[in-house]
A and B are shown apart, each in its own frame.
Chain A
Amino acid sequence: MMSEHTIVQALRIADLALYRLDAGSYCLATPEGHRSTLRYASLLLTESTGCQLSDEDGTVPRQLPASTACLLTHHVSQRITVSEPTWVLRLPTFRLSGCPLSLPMIAMAQEMQVLLFSIPAILADAAHLPPVGQRHAALAIESLLQPLVQGHEPEESADITSVILRAEGETDANVADSAKALGVSRSRLYETLRPYGGFHTLLNAARLDRVARRLLMPEYADHSIKEILHDTPFTRADQFHRLFKQRYAETARRWRSAPLPTLPATIAPVPVHL
């Protein structure tokens, strides 16, 4: 039986999408059937009753507290059950961290509740602003979410994250140097990073995220893609464009004008069969 609930895509500002979910169960899906490594985070704004979070198969349920803003980032599909209409803000994880490895996590900051619960209203007003204003507003939301991310990084990945971030800006970064910096063997580093696609996938993802972020920043609106690539380690434009399309399922030019990929599974929480 299909549940009766609906998803309303209320607003879309730059690469942020705000949904209103009716009571019911939803699957926050990872993209299927394509090679994109881009992942999304969800900010759940449940007002009075909280919501239940579980894996795709329904196991490991976790109750998220009521009247709390929860930032949820995931590498695998997850199911949420809400008993009242709930706002969900979906955003690419690169808005939260320079390194794709720093995820997954569930983060809450009780002292920020009022500010975080004002996000739907901010986005509603920002939708009336010109595109440049909307991009500034998206960056404002990004800054607002930073306190949620800081300090919630899983300890075991913190060292690797810093090494990846350091290597990200270097043209000649290699696994041997990174392993040496971490004090582990190459094979151990390969093994650790395998679930995330490997060392080079992570490194390229971090580099691409930096470019993707710049493509959305009003400060770089007058720069051509070639100019933006100047101080990145991508030495060949064709290599960059190929990798960019793999990760974002869009060309860099199209991402700049309409940043959300068109693949519905990556954007929309999908109602599940009960």
Chain B
Amino acid sequence: MTTTQTPIRESLYTDHLPTCDGEALWHELLTPITTPQRLHRTPTVGRVDAWLYGDMLISEAQASPQRTVRNRRQLAAGPLPAYNLLFVLEGRMRYEDGRRDRTLQPGDLLIEDLTEKRTITTPTYSRSINLMVPREGLDEGLHGSILERHSAPARLLSRHVHALLESLPTLHARHCDDTLKTLQRLIAACAGDGDVQSRRQIRRTLRDDIERFIERHLFDTRLGNASLCRHYRLSRTQLYRLFRQQGGIKEVILRKRLDWVHDQLCRGEGGAKPDTETLALMCGFASGKALETAYRGYFSVSMEDTWHADTASFPTTSRQGLTRLFSRLGQFPHTPT
């Protein structure tokens, strides 16, 4: 469930500023998602008009010729768990991600996962619409999907996004959940892969459902294989098969509990470090020492080190990430209109 909010607009133009300033500002703006690089001698500048609506960030961007890279080093700083739908309006783009090397033309639509590596080269001036939506609720394997111009799926999504952009100034806060659901369903409709997709989706839906159940019952000491099999009317084999790739259901429960502990340490309120014994008891560990050992095994750092680390460097949720990305626009000097 998202926190509803009315659409907010921010703009940033860096192409009217002196080259150095404009370029620095452009780089700073894009830092959370990509790193711009110069092509030839043209400065890397651009314009962004963005709307934040609930969990969606929609922007129209114009950019000078440049290459934008998202590599391992950048992702290590904390990737944004969201998908970006990139609609090419003007200019040509070359998209590379190690597996694909494709040219995008006006009308094409690219779906990219902001947690994955990629390089986009735009040798000419370009204009595009970027729509960022949280990854939750969408299929996992959409990174690098390209919907070709004039195809029904590309037309469908593009029409809807244009209609959405036109409606944004008038939309109410209470509509944002339904608007996001509509968009997620349309993405699933257009980027899906028929029956295979359907089967994958069913498994994923069930897995997500079980994971949500685990999160709700994280502090229940009876949480385990037996209670999950009973609740979901699954056999043990079916349950193990569902979570085989994650190392088994027990591993998933353990990780979720450790993630919660990690969260408590990163966002500790009131300045005092949470008591290890209390955390251990809440999460079903035999003792504080057992928790310490499991924590170190999973995160490769001790709980003490996590407590003293810079919390800002840890990955955020998609909502926090998109909001933070949007608020950066407002932090920069105002754009002349």
Contacts and interface: CB of A to CB of B under 8 A. Distances in A.
10 contacts: A110-B170, A113-B167, A129-B152, A137-B156, A137-B189, A140-B185, A147-B178, A218-B188, A219-B201, A222-B199
A22 B165 CA distance: 31
A136 B172 contact: no
Given A122-B159, A140-B185, A222 B164 contact: no
B202 interface: yes
B302 interface: no
Interface string B161-176: 0011011001110110
Contacts of B167: 111-115
Interface string A100-136: 0000000000111111011001100111111011111
B175 A147 contact: yes
A129 B182 contact: no
Contacts of B175: 111-112, 147
A231 to B, nearest CB: 8
B296 interface: no
A143 interface: yes
Contacts of B159: 118, 121-122, 125
For chain B, which range describes its interface: under 10, 10 to 19, 20 to 34, or 35 or more residues? 35 or more
A115 B172 contact: no
A144 B156 CA distance: 14
Contacts of A122: 156, 159-160, 186
Interface residues of A, number: 37
A143 B198 contact: no
Contacts, number: 108
Contacts of A129: 152-153, 156, 189-190
Interface of A: 110-115, 117-118, 121-122, 125-130, 132-137, 139-141, 143-144, 146-147, 150, 218-223, 230
B201 A143 contact: no
Name the residue in A127, A150, A219 with the highest tally of chain B Cβ atoms < 10 Å from its Cβ: A219
* B interface majority secondary structure: helix
A112 B170 CA distance: 8
A135 B188 CA distance: 10
A134 B233 contact: no
A10 to B, nearest CB: 15
A219 B171 contact: no
Contact of A126 (B156, B170, B183): B156
Identify the interface centre among A130, A133, A219, A221: most chain B CB within 10 Å of its CB.
Answer: A133
B206 to A, nearest CB: 9
A147 B174 contact: yes
Contacts of B178: 143-144, 146-147
A137 B138 CA distance: 14
A146 B178 CA distance: 7
Nearest to B189: A136
Contact of B185 (A110, A127, A143): A143
Given A144-B178, A219-B202, A137 B185 contact: yes
**Quick one: which of B156, B159, B179, B201 has the most chain A CB within 10 A?**
B156
Contacts of A126: 152, 156, 189
B195 interface: yes
B202 A125 contact: no
B155 interface: yes
